[in-house]
Chains A and B, each alone.
Chain A
Amino acid sequence: MRLAFILSEIGSGLRRNVSMVVSVILVTFVSLTFVGAAGMLQMQINQMKGYWYDKVQVAIFLCSEGSTAPGCATGSVTPEQQQSLNALLESPAVAQYINDFQFESKEEAYKHFKDQFSNSPIVDSVTPDQLPASFRINMKDPEKYQIISETFSSQPGVETVIDQRQLLERLFSVMNGASLVAVGIAGVMIVCAILLIATTIRLSAFSRRRETGIMRLVGASKTVIQLPFILEGVIAAVIGAALASGTLWAVAHFFLGDYMSRQYPDTAFISSGQTLILAPALLILGASLAGISSLLTLRRYLRV
């Protein structure tokens, strides 16, 4: 009975305050979308780092069938060539710059590729044969990349030497900057949301002061009096958070999944499913923002 009563109170409160409730929904929607966008950018950065990014800096890709690089005149890399490259890496002239190195076979390359591009249709059209084997090198000093590059580029069996870190780092710094901007905007919007929720709850409490006065007199508990107001704010904020989660999912699904991955098939994008990890966080964030700000407001404006 009391639950039904509280629910009907919430319903009447939301109906009476429609315009304010809509504005709370929109403000939380926008602010949480920015929070989520920042989260999505970070997820995308992790996705692009792939298996090797945090472990090595430089990759020496070996020749495979159909390689056109000058070092690949003999076709696919032979075991002997691979042996000599391994020996070169272990030789003191090179070893002094290297912490350690690993060999990635075609099969391993295929496995890591599958993990990174699991969201992309490209994974179905790639076979282990098409992926080059490689030596992955962890440098003592990443700045010394040139030395490795010069030493190995001209070796037979080497297709190319790539400083992956340098390639990605510029992109990542742009993305990190973008997520900082998103967090900044989100911060301002969240302040807006908190103030707006507080104002809404205040108006709502004021427009129902007759009811709350009577409730107080007949001995309604603090919970019964305050809960409808708090839940009003929380419900509005949760709707906003749900809209934000939906928007992020749509961006991942339609923009990244359909458009961007067709434009840039060699880039790994996050899947729409991954953005759903953000949804509970956004819902909790929205609900607690609204709950706390309405609780503080009621303490001042609704005497019990």
Chain B
Amino acid sequence: MIRFENVTKVYDQTARPALDSVNLEIDRGEFAFLVGASGSGKSTFLRLVLKEDRATSGAVYVAGQNVAKISSWRVPRLRRGIGVVFQDFRLLPQKNVFANVAFAMQVIGKSRSVIRDTVPEVLKTVGLEGKEHRMPHELSGGEQQRVAIARAVVNRPGILLADEPTGNLDPTTSMGIMGVLDKINQNGTTVVMATHDDDIVNEMRKRVVELKNGVVIRDEARALYTSMIPVVGQSRRLKDASGREAHDDGLPGEGREGEAQR
């Protein structure tokens, strides 16, 4: 569903690249966590999928299409196939729950009757039935994020990108949100979630892709937030991949552990 072939993204010629020769494939219907410290390239990854930015080199394929080859007037069509959720919800404060979700359908020209049928259904999926007429400020953080998820999936995208969706929520609420995302994933949507939240990653036991300084340093199925592969081998692989992490060799174990604690 999403394939990165040797993708490098450079924002500033003088600094290190945000993504450095990333090769990655996420299959249809998969649930993948993108973990790593701030600045490791998680958000850049998501931006490249959405064609908010162009890759400096390499190719990004979304649903089999090379996004670099999509002309600018067809970018909206690409984005209709991708739902996005953010840490800060991004709801429209002057619209109620129903209108916030309906907005995503109105702007792509769905008819009123389709909207009337679909929105309550989606709100039920995210566990918000009966709260259609609440305003965003009358909802808890978790409920607001559920509205945002409902808005992201109301047009039935094949991919859902979540950029730290639990970053503003307490652990219990976060688990509720993860339940919603899992349900959406089980309905066949590919979910890619960038996160710092180790509890959630450890709980879900899904695929984990770890980025560090723009390089994929780990890609494990049903993994934990912290690597289970022996750290020494990890560091050597790192060095081979980028040549930048040589200092890790001197202090194996500590380097990886310290990374994971953050």
Contacts and interface: CB of A to CB of B under 8 A. Distances in A.
B76 A220 contact: yes
Given A1-B106, A1-B111, A219 B155 contact: yes
Interface stretch (B78-86, B125-133, B220-228, B238-246): B78-86
Nearest to A218: B104
Q: Which of B79, B82, B110, B155 has the most CB of A within 10 A?
A: B79
Interface in B72-104: 73, 76-84, 90, 92, 103-104
B147 to A, nearest CB: 12
Given A219-B78, A219-B155, A5 B107 contact: yes
A219 B108 contact: yes
A219 B79 contact: yes
A211 to B, nearest CB: 6
B109 interface: yes
Interface in A83-119: none
A215 B73 contact: no
Contacts of A217: 50, 79, 84
A260 B73 CA distance: 58
Given A217-B84, A218-B151, A224 B107 contact: yes
Interface residues of A, number: 17
A214 B79 contact: no
A219 B80 contact: yes
A218 B108 contact: yes
B180 to A, nearest CB: 18
A53 to B, nearest CB: 56
B134 interface: no
B79 A216 contact: yes
Contacts of A222: 73, 76
A218 B90 contact: no
Nearest to B74: A221
Would you call the interface of chain A mostly helix, strand, loop, or mixed?
helix
B112 interface: yes
Nearest to B100: A214
Contact of A5 (B50, B79, B106): B106
A277 B107 CA distance: 40
A2 B103 CA distance: 11
A220 B50 CA distance: 13
**Interface range for B:** 20 to 34
Contacts of B111: 1
Contact of A218 (B73, B80, B92, B112): B80
A221 B71 CA distance: 13
B151 A213 contact: no
Interface string A1-17: 11001000000000000
A5 B82 CA distance: 22
A87 B8 CA distance: 99
Nearest to B76: A219
Contacts of A218: 79-80, 83, 103-104, 107-108, 151-152, 155
Nearest to B161: A217
B167 to A, nearest CB: 18
B109 A1 contact: yes
A300 interface: no
Contacts of A220: 76, 107-108
A5 B104 CA distance: 11
A2 B83 CA distance: 20
A297 B83 CA distance: 29
B47 to A, nearest CB: 11
A166 to B, nearest CB: 64
B104 A214 contact: yes
Interface string A218-244: 111110110000000000000000000
Contacts of A214: 90, 92, 103-104, 151
Contacts of B73: 221-222
29 contacts: A1-B106, A1-B111, A2-B106, A2-B107, A5-B106, A5-B109, A210-B90, A210-B92, A211-B103, A214-B103, A217-B84, A218-B79, A218-B80, A218-B83, A218-B104, A218-B151, A219-B78, A219-B81, A219-B108, A219-B155, A220-B76, A220-B108, A221-B73, A221-B76, A221-B108, A222-B73, A224-B107, A224-B109, A225-B107
- Shortest beta-carbon contacts, A-B, top 5: A219-B80, A220-B107, A219-B79, A2-B109, A218-B104
Interface of B: 50, 73, 76-84, 90, 92, 103-104, 106-112, 151-152, 155
Interface of A: 1-2, 5, 210-211, 213-222, 224-225
